[in-house]
Amino acid sequence: MITANEWPKRCTCCARPYYAGEWTTLSFVGYMDDGDGGRLELRNCSCGTTLSIAIEMGLSWALAGDLAEVLRCDARELAGCPPQYAWPPQSKRVVSADDEQESVRLEKIADELSEIAKRGWYVDED
């Protein structure tokens, strides 16, 4: 069951309120099943507590796969990797810690999108 999210979402530990626009700025942890057919997105509050919101899977597996590709490219660029087919081969650029962190965040999202895409390639027969 998918339940509507109520904003602001309050941290269960420090009671800090988060509005929908702020939610995406929190550090992304991952997704999990809610045990009832729905899915939860997990992110960390600034106090370190993991919070969750219910999400809808309004994304086709094909689009999820494309998005994963795009995010992976961005993540590689942020991490300072040279273009994949650069010739002569270039060495990795030095990047700021912020870019490095953002790259890791994008990779995590790309991984999750790839999982959604895979579920489309192999349709379960119930």
Write out the residues near Zn ion by the rule CB under 5 A: 11, 13-14, 16, 45, 47, 49
Please compute Rg for the chain using Cα positions: 17
Q: How far is the CB of 66 from Zn ion (least distance, A)?
A: 34
Two tokens at 100? Answer: 């490095």
Q: How far is the CB of 40 from Zn ion (least distance, A)?
A: 17
Q: How far is the CB of 44 from Zn ion (least distance, A)?
A: 8
Find the DSSP H helices in the chain: 20-23, 61-78, 97-121
Which is nearer to Zn ion, 49 or 90 (by Cβ)? Answer: 49
Q: What is the DSSP code (8-state) at residue 125?
A: -
Which is nearer to Zn ion, 45 or 110 (by Cβ)? Answer: 45
Which is nearer to Zn ion, 49 or 60 (by Cβ)? Answer: 49
Residue type, 53: I
How far is the C-alpha of 52 from the C-alpha of 108, rounded, in Å? 16
